[in-house]
Each structure stands twice: as structure tokens, then as C-alpha cells.
Amino acid sequence: MMKCSACGHEMTRKTGEIDLRIGGRLYLVRNIPFEECDFCGERVLSPEVSQALYEKVEKKEYEEMAINIPVLYGTYGTDGILPTHDNA
């Protein structure tokens, strides 16, 4: 079994949904095998799966869908002011 590179705990093989950023774009990948750390939640794709996904992106073998997602704003700097939609 694989050990997590982030925290050293055991990883479990799963199949499910992950989000992936490639070239500044966000992709939602469904029904994909990955390893997930039971402790910290780190997810890792095998080299073969990663290569297959990059090839699909290069060949534009994906559907484009509009998905509504919640957007959160974090704190910036040390002033503790949270930006709003108006001042972000």
C-alpha cells in the first residue's frame, strides 16, 4: 500500500470524482481511480491515469458544462479585511 507524501499515513485506492487544474483551467474528472490519504485527504493519480487525462485534455476529449460552485474569499495581508464581491 502507498504512503502519503504529505503526511506519511496510509493511502486507500478509491474511484470517484476529483478536480484537476491543467493549464490554468479547472476540470472535473468523474469515475476516476486514485489513491487517497485516510488522514489528510491528499489524492494522488497513478502516472498512467495522469498521462491518459493529459492526453484527453490535449485532444479536447471532454464535455463542457456550466456548473455553479460556491466561491469563498479568504483574508489577504495582515489587515484582516475580507474582500467582498465588490472589492475583490
* Of 20 and 72, more confident: 20
Residue-wise DSSP of 22-78 = ETTEEEEEEEEEEEEETTT--EE--HHHHHHHHHHHHTT-S--------------TT
Whether the pTM exceeds 0.75: the reply is no
CATH of 11-58 given 3.30.43.10, 3.30.70.2190, 3.10.20.860, 1.10.630.10: 3.10.20.860
What is residue 7's DSSP assignment? T
Q: Per-residue pLDDT averaged across 23-52, rounded?
A: 95
